[in-house]
Chains A and B, each alone.
Chain A
Amino acid sequence: QKEVEQDPGPLSVPEGAIVSLNCTYSNSAFQYFMWYRQYSRKGPELLMYTYSSGNKEDGRFTAQVDKSSKYISLFIRDSQPSDSATYLCAFLSGTYKYIFGTGTRLKVLA
C-alpha cells in the first residue's frame, strides 16, 4: 500500500463549480497536513496547512482532515480559470520530511 494516494486527474470543471480534491494516507505518524498548488514549471505554493481533524477555511478554500479515516480533502468554491494547476497534498511527521502526493491536475473551463 502506498503511503499517500492521490488521484492524478485531470479533473475538468466549469467555471464557478465546487471542486473537491482528495488524498488518503496510511501513516498514522503524520501530524501536519498541507495542500500546495503548483503551476506548470513553477515551484509549489502553500495554500493551507492544518494539524487537527476538522475543517479550516481560507477564502474560497476549505481544507478538511479526517484522521480516523486517514483522509484529507481540499474544497475550492466558485472555481476560476486561474485555479487551473496541479494540487499536491503533503504530509509531515516528526522527521520534518514532507511526503507528497502525486498531484491532481485541475482544469477550470471558462
Chain B
Amino acid sequence: GAVVSQHPSWVICKSGTSVKIECRSLDFQATTMFWYRQFPKQSLMLMATSNEGSKATYEQGVEKDKFLINHASLTLSTLTVTSAHPEDSSFYICSAGQSFMNTEAFFGQGTRLTVV
C-alpha cells in the first residue's frame, strides 16, 4: 500500500509553546489530507480536512487559530498546535487517500504530543 510518513512520532513541549507536525505522502500525490485526534481507548476524531493550495476545512468545535494547517504541496501537510496547553496532549494522526473518493485512505504512524 501507499506510504504516509508523519514526523515526529512523539514530542514533549512546554505549555505556551508551539509544535509543528508534518505529514508526507511518500509515493503518491494527495490533494487532500486529513488530520485526526485520538484519545486513549477512543476512536479517531476528524479535526480538519487539509486542501492543497487552499484553506483547511475544520470540523465543528475545532479552533482553527489553535490548530493551524498548511498544505503547501501535493505531498506535504503540516499541523501546528499553537500555544499548547496540557489538554492538547493527545495522539495526532494524518491520513491521505490515493483515489478521488478517498477510499483506501492511508494513515501516518501518528504523533504523540505531551504538553507539560
Contact = CB atoms under 8 A, between A and B. Distances in A.
Given A44-B93, A92-B101, A96-B32, A8 B44 contact: no
Given A32-B101, A92-B102, A97-B49, A41 B91 contact: yes
B contact face: mostly helix, strand, loop, or mixed: strand
Given A96-B32, A98-B105, A103-B43, A42 B49 contact: no
Given A49-B103, A49-B104, A98 B110 contact: no
Contact of B105 (A8, A41, A46, A101): A46
Contacts of A34: 103-105
A88 B103 contact: no
Interface residues of A, number: 22
Interface in B45-86: 46, 49
B109 interface: yes
B112 interface: yes
B42 A43 contact: no
Given A34-B103, A34-B104, A43-B108, 10 more contacts: A32-B103, A36-B107, A92-B102, A96-B97, A96-B102, A98-B34, A98-B44, A98-B95, A102-B42, A103-B43
